[in-house]
Amino acid sequence: MSIINVKRKYLTPGQHQQSGQSCVAYLDSLKPHHINDLVQQRNERITTNCGAFAVVLRQRDKQLIHSNKRKNAVDVFSIVQSFSTEELSYRSNSDIDKAHEIGIATAKALNNHFHNEREWAVYTQIDGDTHCIHNHIVYMNYDSNLQALKELSWKKVLLPINENISDQYLITNKQKAVRQRTLKTAEEIIGIPSAVKRQRRHDQREQAKEYIAETVKSTVKRAKSETEFKLMLLQQNIKIQQRNSGKDESVDGIESAWRTKSGRYRKSLAFTYNNVTMRSDKFGLSTKDIVEQIQENAAITSHLPERTSMHKNSQQEQIKLTKKMPKVAQNEMAKRPQTSKALVTNSVKFINRYQLLNIKRDQATKLQNQLTEEKLTQEQRNSLLQKLNNTQSIVAELQSQISVDLTQKSIEEQENERES
């Protein structure tokens, strides 16, 4: 099936390369695309419904200019109708005739569609590089009464016309196979409205942004350093965008994505996925928030006691573990030096909660100090308040869990004493 492309040629004095007259002058030129044994001229076939199309076009332009009806108007519509070399061969005169007949039928079908007689011309040519047969159909916008075509979608008009004519003229099995193969391409080029294409691109961008936000939020909870955070994102095809216009990633040892030349952290990080870029502040994370979460992860890991199985010198393992505990836990462990494996495991969980409680308390204190600053905007103040409320709720939950742990330890100790 032939592929159709439409261009609007404008009546723009002084810019002849965009005008309808320059388009027709180019088509009427005798200079060939390519010279070989079979291609000796530019136009293989020419047909019009008005005699000399260039003469009629000049007269119509003069009428349009004198009427002052419309300035810089669309002069003509230039339609390019191309055929695959598998459909029609430039070596065959009958195939060239068939291509020309298809162009004439297309121009006549346009007049039938608009219920109006307008001037048109069909130029059948052979491409210089690929030797594909193609038609140039120039179709007048203004009729003899200087009435222009109404705003319309040429793609919607030409697609059904092109399909019907292709069914009539391209009837061999080989041509039908080519038509089926090119049908999807033709629909993508011609049949899909621009609004649908824009919506599809918008949906793809939104999906990419959603993926970036979810991935970054989950990764920042696990990373223990900026380098590890960067590598974990790269494994998921997300790159942290540099901020120095494609130069070195670091300036004096400081990564430009994270920090400025002065060494201060930037307000936000920029993440790229599938040519879509999204800044971290768009999903509620500043660079400072990301760094604090990474430092918190590293602090929790560094304070975790080494988890080893109980063996013959379990008493020595218990002493090492006790030295790392806070005083409250040491007092609990001191009541019974010979402890069970379950009790040691519970003590490890207690230490983790206790360390996390101290970290969250420090964060709450910092947030309270930040709220006392006078230069904060209302949006910044609301954000800090939300973070403070979340942190305080975590502190309360940890305190409750620690209280339960202490009560459970006390009950276990009493039961062990009764058994002994």
Q: What is the tens place of the pLDDT at every residue in 112-152?
A: 888 878 899 999 988 777 788 889 999 988 888 888 887 66
Q: Which of 194, 190, 198 is nearest to 6 (CA)?
A: 190
Predicted confidence at residue 216, as pLDDT, reads 93
CB neighbour list of residue 390: distance below 8 Å, 6 or more residues apart: none
User: Which of 206, 146, 165, 24 shows the shortest CA–CA distance to 83?
Assistant: 165
- Between CA 374 and CA 47 the distance in angstroms is 80
Return d(Cα 117, Cα 140) in angstroms, integer.
10
> In the chain, pLDDT over 90 holds for what percent of residues?
13
Strand, helix or coil for residue 33: coil
Pairing assessment for the beta strands 74-82 and 3-10 based on DSSP bridges: antiparallel
Helix (H, G, I), strand (E, B) or coil at 14: coil
Closest CA to 120 of 153, 91, 79: 79
Neighbours of 31 (CB within 10 A): 8
Q: For helices 341-371 and 314-323, what crossing angle results, to 10°?
A: 10
Half-sphere exposure of 8 (CA within 13 A, CB side): 14
Strand order of the β-sheet with 239-240 is 239-240, 270-273, 276-279
Task: Report which of residues 320 and 279 the model is more confident about.
Answer: 279
> How do 133-140 and 270-273 pair as beta strands?
unpaired
Beta strands in 26-140 (DSSP E): 43-48, 74-82, 120-126, 133-140
**pLDDT at site 338:** 44
Q: Which residue has the higher pLDDT, 82 or 321?
A: 82
Instruction: Pick the most confident of 190-194, 248-252, 388-392.
Output: 388-392
CA 98, chain centre distance (Å): 44
Which of 87 and 281 is assigned the larger pLDDT? Answer: 281
59 alpha-carbon distance from chain centroid: 49
Region for residue 115 given its phi and psi (left: phi exceeds 0; alpha: psi -120 to 50; beta: otherwise): left
